[in-house]
Amino acid sequence: MSAAPDKIARPSGLDERKTLIGLAVTSIVLAMWVYLPVLQRMVTHWQIDADYSHGFIIAPLSIYFAWERRAELARAKVEGSWWGIVILALGLVAMAIGQLGALLTLLRGGFVLTVMGLVLLLLGREIFRILLFPLLFLFLMVPLPRSLVNVVAFPLQLIAANWAVSTLQLLGVPALVEGNIIHLAHTQLFVAEACSGLRSLMALITLGVVFAHFFKPGHRVQQVVLVVSTIPIAVVVNAARVTLTGWMTQQYGEHAAQGVIHEFQGIITFGLAFFALMGVARLLDFGTRLAHLRAGTSQGGHR
């Protein structure tokens, strides 16, 4: 008769890794079920508000960014970290405050924090570090809080109106500005909140992040500059859109500022924003090459 083993055999490292990964995936699915009403309302928001329609591509892009790191993830140690409880607690606090105060942004942001906390808690700091960018990217699917829109939108409306009137006058179009109202020869334009450019800024920031990720891999400083540049680009391009609307209204009547034509103007101006972003990337490339050239010249001069 064989002797009984001294202790129960522990699962192998591979089995433990699979168990923790399975537990993490299950926990995230359960979190999605808990937050399902919040997520459904957010998807509805994306559907009814064109300024946030980019929300549909955030999760797929985040999954793709994680898949890009599959080689690093395969080599990384899976070892849970109790620090995940801190982020989980923040997510729960955000959910509680959002539920009590009907603050949708906190509720939606709380879901992202919960996912981040589960990853850190169950998979550990190394996995969390690798997945940090895809996880942070998920915040871009959360629409801006209404309170922020109310505070910031009006100054942006004034900027758009003033810049548009200055440009129209340079083009020979008689125009005057009064607050956020543009007076033309035969009519007037009201630069509404939707024309402030604030809400579309989120879509442009998303474009900037994706552009920086694909076209400037490994250049952290240039990536940050590209993303930050989306803010002034959004302001300038939005003023250009208002200018175009004013010029077309003066030339072709009020119908030019409404309906399909107005929406088509939005597509054109967003395209201009993309080309402006490419221009910033080219300037960064030029600056980098110039710095390398000067460095090479300086080294050659010291020899």
DSSP string over 74-114: HHS-----TTHHHHHHHHHHHHHHHHHHT-HHHHHHHHHHH
Q: What is the mean pLDDT of residues 4-18?
A: 53
In this model, does residue 6 exceed pLDDT 70?
no
Distance from C-alpha of 141 to C-alpha of 247, rounded to nearest angstrom:
34
Structure tokens at 24: 């993490």
Contact indicator for 273, 237 with CB cutoff of 8 Å: yes
Place of tokens 């604030």: 198
In this model, does residue 135 exceed pLDDT 90?
yes
Model pLDDT for residues 188-237, shown as the tens digit of each residue: 776 765 566 666 677 788 888 888 888 766 677 888 888 888 888 888 88
Highest mean pLDDT of the ranges 96-105, 128-137, 179-188, 285-294 = 128-137
Distance from C-alpha of 53 to C-alpha of 166, rounded to nearest angstrom:
32
Model pLDDT for residues 27-51, shown as the tens digit of each residue: 889 989 988 988 999 999 888 877 7
Question: In terms of pTM, does the model score above 0.95?
Answer: no
End-to-end CA distance of the chain: 82
Mean pLDDT, the chain, rounded, equals 79
Structure tokens at 156: 């942006």
Q: 217: Cβ–Cβ under 8 A, 6 or more apart, which residues? A: none
Contact indicator for 161, 179 with CB cutoff of 8 Å: yes
Domain ranges in the chain are: 13-141, 147-297
Contact indicator for 82, 123 with CB cutoff of 8 Å: no
